Amino acid sequence: MFSLINYLKKYKARIIIGPSFKFIEAVTDLITPILVALILDDGIPNDNKKFIILISVAILGMNLLGFICAIICSKCASKVSRGVGLDIRRDMYKSITELSASEKDKYTTMAFTNRIVHDVNQIETAIGMTIRNVARAPFLLIGSTIAAIIIDAKLSLIFLAIIPVILFIVITIMKKASPKYIDAKRNLDRVSNVTRENLSGNRVVRAFNKQDYEIERFDKVNNSFTGTNLEIGKLSSIMQPLLYLVVQLGIIGVVYFGGVQVNIGGMTQGKIISFINYFAQISASLVVIARIIIIFTRTGASIKRINEIYSLSPSIKQSKHAIELNKDMPANIEFKNVCFSYNNQRNMVNDLSISIKEGSTIGVIGGTGSGKSTLVNLLPRFYEVTSGEILINGINIKKYTLKSLRDYISIVPQNPTLFKGTIESNLKFRNGNASLDEMIKALKISQSYEFVMEKPEGIKTRVERGGTNFSGGQRQRLTIARALVDNPRIIILDDSSSALDFETDYKLRKALSTMLKTTTKIIVSQRTNSIKDADNIIVLDNGNVVGIGKHTELLKNCEVYKEIYNSQNKKEVL
């Protein structure tokens, strides 16, 4: 669970120092009206210039001291707020990266991003404002009230009369605004999601001339977001003018009744000026406290959203006595009655049993949604099997450490993902100490060597975000090369050659079989030609294993495989 107090403990010294200096500033603010009253009541009537100069210097010194204290407090507030924000973001990012795929599926990318950026910013603002005002505003409010009562208890009744009105305004507005802060955060997630979709799919939008439709879709969520924020803005903007109005009416009352007291000799001019100054400080403190309440209300919504992330725990956990999976060990895999379903729905993999020997090549094929990618994602434990077990070298994969298991296995996903940097930095993503020879070998196997070396800078060639400066086929080959660096014992190609032409695809498969003889290869593909030379082929249909065998065997015994093959090879006579 998320606890803000735990993050604040690290900055205990600054949290004490900041408000302490702000308290001193508040004391100087309380003393100043008294000094002004002395000038008006004693200095000016008696034409005592030395006294006036002395008190004026004292007022200047007080203001200078308050200024210095305010700067020190602001620095402390800035250090604490930014430091806590840094710590929360780091821990949130770490927490998100440790989540299993099933937990990440519950939120969109932008929902995570907005929590890390906007919600943490809100917490930073609240911390900074609290440190700057936690000592000053309440102390000024209490101190000014006491001072005003000491000056004239009867006149102070005006202030006591307006307190219930002020409380009523603040509580009423907060009750109406509080639920809208959470709505605003949710609407922000929607705006961010639509924006991200439109920007990442910009070419598709243009290709289908759907710009107007997408603009309309964006306007819909944006108007909802804007509308909610306008409602919050209206409520928040009403509060401060109403408070000032009530306070100014109080000041008018003070001036009127105070003037009467001055005329009859009940009060001096200095006292009435001091009283008005204290009354102004009281009103300023109330406004600041009202702002703090608004900030705390917003921050409460942000903390609730952050807590949603902290409350998630990875479903894939490493056992306490997990053992290391050594890369020197052979890669013998066995699926025993494996079943898997998302959220207890229908099985995406149903009762799969197969043994895969070291160095062999396994093909996985089936229609869209048949469970191909799901199957291969079970091996590195991106998802946990619902029932059954997966063994590597006769040991359940749950007994291995997650790090050693995923170092042992290399997977190339359906969508090729390259990171901004260079070809070299992407190839070293798996192993930062990879040698040039290892990278060259991986480039040659993946059929990337020629087009990389044609570049003026070779492996130092710049890679833009997502690899947009490379073609689809080049991105796929580079992601395959990255997976091959560091010699994985098992490599999974999840439909990762779909953008390759048939000749390049053939050369890739040939290189994999001849140059990685001891590596166990699992190839997921939509093409029968890409897997027909595999030692065994698993055919899936709606999560069910409808066939396991070699290419020729499946053509005779498996109708699903035969249909797929015939649809791709219509001109051939079987």
Structure tokens at 520: 């166990």
Distance of alpha carbon 328 from alpha carbon 518, whole angstroms: 11
More confident residue, 62 or 208: 62
Distance of alpha carbon 336 from alpha carbon 459, whole angstroms: 43
pLDDT band at 573 (very low <50, low <70, confident <90, very high): very low
**Burial call 528-549: b when 16+ CB within 10 Å, e when fewer:** bebbbbbebbbbbbebbbbbbb
Residue 288, SS3?
Answer: helix
pLDDT surpassing 90 at residue 80:
yes
3-state SS, one letter per residue, for 438-482: HHHHHHHHCCCHHHHHCCCCHHHCEECHHHCCCCHHHHHHHHHHH
pLDDT surpassing 70 at residue 319:
yes
Is 502 exposed, middle or buried (CB count within 10 Å of its CB: 0-12, 13-18, 19+)? Answer: exposed
Question: Taking residues 136-149, what's their average pLDDT?
Answer: 82
Place of tokens 């975000």: 465
Q: What is the DSSP string of 511-559?
A: HHHHH-TTSEEEEE-S-STTTTTSSEEEEEETTEEEEEE-HHHHHHH-H
| In contact, 427 and 434? CB cutoff 8 Å | yes
Question: Taking residues 347-361, what's their average pLDDT?
Answer: 86
* Sign of the dihedral through C-alpha 446, 451, 454, 456: negative
pLDDT for 570 equals 66
Quick one: DSSP state of residue 501? -
pLDDT for 1 equals 67
Residue 507 Cα distances to 101, 152, 444, 500, angstroms: 33, 96, 10, 10
The CA dihedral of 378, 383, 384, 388, to the nearest 10 degrees, is -30
If you average pLDDT over each of 160-164, 234-238, 395-399, which comes out highest?
A: 395-399
pLDDT for 400 equals 92
Distance of alpha carbon 473 from alpha carbon 489, whole angstroms: 25
* pLDDT more than 70, % of the chain: 98
Structure tokens at 460: 């130092």
pLDDT surpassing 70 at residue 170:
yes
pLDDT band at 224 (very low <50, low <70, confident <90, very high): confident
Distance of alpha carbon 312 from alpha carbon 304, whole angstroms: 13
pLDDT surpassing 70 at residue 572:
no
| 185-189, 238-242, 295-299, 570-574: least confidently modelled range | 570-574
* pLDDT per position as a tens digit, 297-307: 888 888 888 88
pLDDT for 571 equals 52
pLDDT for 146 equals 84
**Burial call 157-194: b when 16+ CB within 10 Å, e when fewer:** ebbeebeebbeebbeebbeebbebbbbbbebbbbbbbb
Distance of alpha carbon 100 from alpha carbon 322, whole angstroms: 18
| Residues with Cβ within 8 Å of residue 445, at least 6 apart in sequence | 480, 481, 484, 508, 511, 512, 515, 516
pLDDT for 389 equals 92
Residue 504 Cα distances to 359, 440, 442, 512, angstroms: 22, 18, 15, 12
Domains of the chain: 4-310 (1.20.1560.10), 333-568 (3.40.50.300)
| 76-80, 282-286, 482-486, 550-554: least confidently modelled range | 282-286
Residue 268, SS3?
Answer: coil
Q: Return mean pLDDT, the chain.
A: 84
Distance of alpha carbon 236 from alpha carbon 184, whole angstroms: 14
pLDDT for 460 equals 92
521: β partners: 361, 491
Question: Taking residues 538-566, what's their average pLDDT?
Answer: 88
Structure tokens at 571: 């001109």
* pLDDT more than 90, % of the chain: 14
* pLDDT per position as a tens digit, 247-258: 778 878 877 877
pLDDT surpassing 90 at residue 341:
no
pLDDT for 292 equals 82
Distance of alpha carbon 140 from alpha carbon 278, whole angstroms: 9
pLDDT surpassing 60 at residue 280:
yes
Distance of alpha carbon 95 from alpha carbon 313, whole angstroms: 8
Q: Which of 549, 153, 524, 147 is nearest to 372 (CA)?
A: 524
pLDDT surpassing 90 at residue 142:
no
Residue 412, SS3?
Answer: strand
Structure tokens at 89: 């973001």
pLDDT surpassing 50 at residue 228:
yes
State the alpha helices, DSSP H only, in 351-471: 372-378, 402-408, 423-427, 436-445, 449-453
pLDDT for 342 equals 78
Question: Taking residues 338-364, what's their average pLDDT?
Answer: 84
pLDDT for 254 equals 77
State the alpha helices, DSSP H only, in 152-266: 157-200, 202-207, 211-263
Structure tokens at 145: 């009230």
